[in-house]
């Protein structure tokens, strides 16, 4: 039985469980922001999401599962990762979005 791909609606639902998250847009696509800072958005190709991610975690994810987690040259120098909606496991979303949320949160608002 083939799993159903993750949709942006599922991403949004998971993201909205995190504190201080608001639905927004970025580059004319649906997005989620924390205190006005972007942490996840639907990529303009509509088949992946762009997620805020520290460089070290980004490298770990890409090494572990390059079909799901990757970057293009555009993102090489920025702390973001592309996540394939058709390949990502739904149960991976809470941790991914928590990391992104923490990275986008203002330093004084971060939990240690």
Residue 83 lies in a domain: yes
Q: How confident is the model over 44-69, as a mean pLDDT?
A: 97
Q: What tens digit of pLDDT does each residue of 22-53 get?
A: 999 999 999 999 999 999 999 999 999 999 99
**25, part of any domain:** yes
Residue 19 belongs to some domain of the structure: yes
Contact 49, 38 (CB under 8 A): no
Longest distance between any two alpha carbons in the chain, whole Å: 46
The domain spanning residue 76 has which CATH number? Answer: 3.90.1150.30
Q: Is residue 3 part of a domain?
A: no
Establish if 40 belongs to a structural domain.
Answer: yes
In a domain, 111, yes or no: no
> Between 8-15 and 93-104, two packed helices, what is the crossing angle to 10 degrees?
60
Residue 88: which domain range? Answer: 8-105
Domain count of the fold of the chain: 1
The answer to whether residue 2 is domain-embedded is no
Question: Does residue 112 lie in a domain region?
Answer: no
pTM, full prediction: 0.92
């Amino acid at each position: 039985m083939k799993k159903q791909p993750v949709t942006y609606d599922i991403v949004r639902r998971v993201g909205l469980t995190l504190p201080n998250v608001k639905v927004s847009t970025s580059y004319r696509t649906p997005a989620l922001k924390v205190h006005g800072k972007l942490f996840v958005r639907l990529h303009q190709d509509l088949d992946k999401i762009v997620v805020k991610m520290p460089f070290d975690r980004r490298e770990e994810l890409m090494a572990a599962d390059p079909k799901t987690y990757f970057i293009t040259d555009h993102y090489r120098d920025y702390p973001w990762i592309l996540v394939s909606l058709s390949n990502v496991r739904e149960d991976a979303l809470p941790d991914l979005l928590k990391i992104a949320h923490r990275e986008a949160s203002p330093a004084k608002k971060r939990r240690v």
